[in-house]
Chain A
Amino acid sequence: MPLTRRQRAALIRYAIYAVTLALLAWVALATDWARLQESFFDWQIFRSLFPDILVRAARNTLIFTFFGFSGGLAIGLVLALMRLSPVRPYRWAAALYIEIFRGLPALITIVLIGFVLPIALQVRVPGTYGPGSLALAIVTGAYLAETIRAGIEAVPRGQMEAARSLGMSHARAMVSIVIPQAFRVILPPLTNELVLLLKDTSLLFVLGTTDQTIELAKFGRDAVADTFNGTPLVAVALTYLAITLPLTRAVAWLERRQKRAVRG
C-alpha cells in the first residue's frame, strides 16, 4: 500500500531519531568515563578554584565587558551618525574606521593599543582596566556602528518628519524619537555583540595579565598548568554559561515585553 505524504514524512522523522539515538549510544559506550572524570571532573580541584574564579576572574571578565561595551556603544553611535551624515568626509572617515577595525583580528587591535601605541606616541592608556577596555571598545564600536546604522535606517522616515514638523531640531528628533526606536529594533543583534565581546575578553591575555586583571579564560589555563588537570576549563566553561544564559534570557524577556507594548 503506498504511503501518504504525511506518513512518509513521519517515517523519515522516526528514522532520523533512531540514527541520532544510535550515534549518541555509540559515543556513550565508546567513552572512557573513568578517565574523563579523572581528567576533567576532579571535584577536589573544582572546589579549590572557588572563590577566586568568581571574585577575581569572572569579576574582571565582567568589568572588561562592561567598559568595552559601553565604550563600543558610544563609538558605534557616533560612527553610525557619521555614516548617515550628509557631510562626505564624515562618511568616509567612519567607513575607513569600520573597515579597518572590523577587518583586523581583535587580537591585533589589542596588541596595537597595548604595545604599539605606547611606543609610537609615548602614551599609556591609564587605569588597570584601561588598555584592555579601550581595545575592546574600539573593536566593538566598529561592529556596532553598522548595526546601529541599520537600526536608524529601519525607523520610518515619517518619524523624523513628524518630529521636525513639531519644531524639533534634527539632533533633538534623533535623540528623542529615532534612536530610541532604532535600539528597540536592534536589541537582538546588540545582545549578540555583547556575548561575542564577553568571549573576546579572553584575548586580553596578550597584554600580559596581573593578579588584578586576570580574566576567566586565562585563569582557567593557568589553573590547568598548575594542576595538570582539565577540570578548571570545565569550571570556566560553566562560569561563562552562567553569565551568558541569564543575559540572553533577560533580553528575550525584554523583547517580548516591548513587543506587547508596541504591537498591542
Chain B
Amino acid sequence: MNQAASPAIELIALEKRFGPLQVLKGIDLAIASGEVVCLIGPSGSGKSTLLRCVNRLEQPTGGRILIDGENICAPDCDLDRVRTKIGMVFQHFNLFPHLSVLDNLMIAQCKVLKRNRAEAESKARAVLERVGLLDKIHEYPARLSGGQQQRVAIARALAMDPEMMLFDEATSALDPELVGEVLNVMRALAEDGMTMMVVTHEMGFARRVADRVVFMDGGVIVEAGHPDRVLGEPRQERTRRFLQRVSDR
C-alpha cells in the first residue's frame, strides 16, 4: 500500500453498539495528514465514542479503522505501538496525580519509547515551553488550575511526538475564563500542521481553526464540509436546529 497516499485516519463503515444501543451506525470518514477536523453535535450523538474508537479506547463492533493505511482492528495489530502515534487529550485531563509535571511528561517517553532520562527531560522541557508552562515543571497537577492542567495534558501527549492528536471535549470541564488559554494552544498546534480530530462545543474555535466541520446526530454523520458552509449555511434541518440551540445560549 502506498503510505503517502493513505489518509492519516480513515474510518470505514464504523459501528459501535453498547448492548442493544447502537451508538455509531456506519461512519465513513477520512482525514488527511495535517487536516483539522472538528466534530460537533448534540450530546449522545456519538462523537466522543467515535473519537475514542480511533485509538481503540472503545472497541468498534463493526467496520474498520485505518491509521496511515494500517488496519488497527486487525487481530495482529500492535495497538500499543499505534497509540504512540496518536496523542489524546481528555475532558477531565487525566494527569497522573502522584507524579510531578515533569514525571507526567517523562514516564511514557521512558517506559514506552525507551528514551533515556536526559533525552526525555529535554523533550519535556521543549513541549512545556510550547504550552507556556515551563515554570510549572516541578509542580504537582493538583496545584495547577484547570486550564494549566489541560495544557500539561496536551504537552504530555506532544512529548511522544505523535503524528496526530485527538481532543475529547478538551475545554468542557473548564471554568469559562480558562477556556481561551487551552484553545490558543490548540490553535497553535493546528497552525503548526498537526493532524487533529477535535470533539468540541466551541463553535468559534471550529469556525476559525477547522479545515472541516463534521456534524453528527444519532450515530450518523449528518453533514460535513468547510466550517463557513456547515456553520454558516447548513443544508440539513437537524444541523440548523442544533446550531440554533447552541447560539441561543
Q: Is the CB of A161 within 8 A of B90?
A: yes
Is B94's beta carbon under 8 Å from chain A?
A: yes
Contact present for B98 and A181 (CB under 8 Å): yes
Residues on A with C-beta less than 8 A from B108 are: 163, 166-168
B84-125: CB near A (< 8 Å → 1, else 0) gives 101110101011111000000001100111000000000000
The verdict on B187 contacting chain A, using a C-beta distance below 8 Å, is no
Which of B86, B97, B157 is most buried by chain A, counting CB atoms within 10 A of its CB?
B97
In the complex the two chains form, what is the Cα distance from A261 to B160 in whole Å?
A: 26
Check A159 against B94 for contact (C-beta < 8 Å): yes
Say whether A180 contacts B160, CB under 8 Å.
no
B98: which of A156, A162, A262 is its contact (CB, 8 Å)?
A262
- CB neighbours of A166 from chain B (8 A): 83-84, 108, 112, 156-157, 160
Judged by a CB distance under 8 angstroms, whether B200 is at the interface is no
A172 at the interface (CB under 8 A from B): yes
Query: Does any Cβ of A come within 8 Å of B55's Cβ?
Result: yes
Set of chain A residues within 8 Å of B245, measured between Cβ atoms: none
Given A176-B111, A261-B140, do A184 and B98 touch, yes or no (CB 8 Å)? yes
Q: How many residues of A contact B (CB 8 A)?
A: 22
Q: Which residue of A lies closest to B55 (CB)?
A: A165
**With the chains together, A136 CA to B166 CA distance in Å?**
49
- Pair B90/A158 contact, Cβ less than 8 Å: yes
Residues of B within 8 A of A172 (CB): 111-112
The proximity string for B residues 51-91 relative to A, scoring 1 for CB distances below 8 Å and 0 otherwise, is: 00001010000000000000000000000110110111010
Closest to B85 in A: A167
A177 at the interface (CB under 8 A from B): yes
Map CB proximity to A onto B124-155 as digits: 1 under 8 Å, 0 otherwise.
Answer: 00000000000000001011000000000100
CB distance from B81 to the nearest CB of A (A): 7
Q: With an 8 A cutoff between CB atoms, is A48 at the interface? A: no
A161 x B94 contact (CB < 8 A): yes
Question: Is A2 at the interface (CB under 8 A from chain B)?
Answer: no
Chain B residues with CB under 8 Å of A176's CB are 107, 111
A227–chain B nearest beta-carbon distance, Å:
52
Interface residues in A108-134 (C-beta closer than 8 Å to B): none
Chain B residues within an 8 Å CB radius of A163 = 96, 108
| 1/0 contact string of A152-192 vs chain B (CB within 8 Å) | 00001011011111111100100011001100100000000
Pairwise interchain contact A169-B90, C-beta atoms closer than 8 A: no
- Give the chain A neighbours of B113 by CB distance below 8 A: 167
Give min CB distance, B97 to chain A, whole Å. 5
Nearest-CB residue, chain B, relative to A180:
B98
Q: Give the distance to chain A from B168, nearest Cβ to Cβ, in Å.
A: 10
**Contact A168–B97 (Cβ < 8 Å):** no
Q: Which residues of B contact A (CB under 8 A)?
A: 55, 57, 80-81, 83-84, 86-88, 90, 92, 94-98, 107-108, 111-113, 140, 142-143, 153, 156-157, 160
Chain A positions within 8 Å of B, measured between CB atoms, are 156, 158-159, 161-169, 172, 176-177, 180-181, 184, 261-264
